[in-house]
Amino acid sequence: MASYEVGPAPLDAARVASMVARPEDGAVTTFLGIVRDHNAGRVVLWLEYESYEPLAVKSFEQIAGEAAERWPGARLAIHHRTGRVEIGEASVVVAAASAHRGDAFAACRYAIERLKQIAPIWKHEYFEGGESWIEGATADPEDSAAREAAFARACT
């Protein structure tokens, strides 16, 4: 069972991974993106994420479909937080399951790279002395060059 969610609830990587694992799988990989305490030479205090949830979920479904074309046996679950996220907390979880580890790793990496390209999720960074919006997704979801760039990063 695949799962695509966007919302304010804290993320549980084990729960997300369990949503894609099946008895015939030999691998489940997860990517857990956590809020770090620095960026661009500044001390980060916290982040806030905003999203247009229906379109974000649709983009997650698109990413899973693209991954299934490349790695037919792989399944994805993608969950992203919105609202205030503290240092050390998870902002995104991607889980990929497959019969083989190579496909699970590649599909997981592809999903996070592609998410950064096309998901309508925006990050507002609060740091010592100020705040700023961090550029979010800028690629057209149908841009094949962007898709190939994500694929290339996933397979390096």
pLDDT at 146: 82
Q: Which domain holds residue 144?
A: 3-154
The total domain count for the chain is 1
Question: Does the pLDDT of residue 151 top 80, yes or no?
Answer: no
Q: Which of 110, 108, 129, 122 is nearest to 41 (CA)?
A: 129
Give the pLDDT mean for 5-16.
98
**pTM summary value:** 0.91
Q: What is the pLDDT of residues 17-73, one digit of tens each?
A: 999 999 999 999 999 999 999 999 999 999 999 999 999 999 999 999 999 999 999
Average pLDDT, the chain: 94
For 14-21, the CB contacts below 8 A with 24+ separation are 16/77, 16/79, 16/93, 16/94, 16/95, 17/77, 17/95, 17/97, 19/77, 19/95, 20/75, 20/76, 20/77, 20/95, 20/96, 20/97, 21/97
Give the pLDDT mean for 66-94.
97
Residue 121's CATH number:
3.90.1170.40
**Residue 16's pLDDT band (boundaries 50, 70, 90)?**
very high
pLDDT at 1: 60
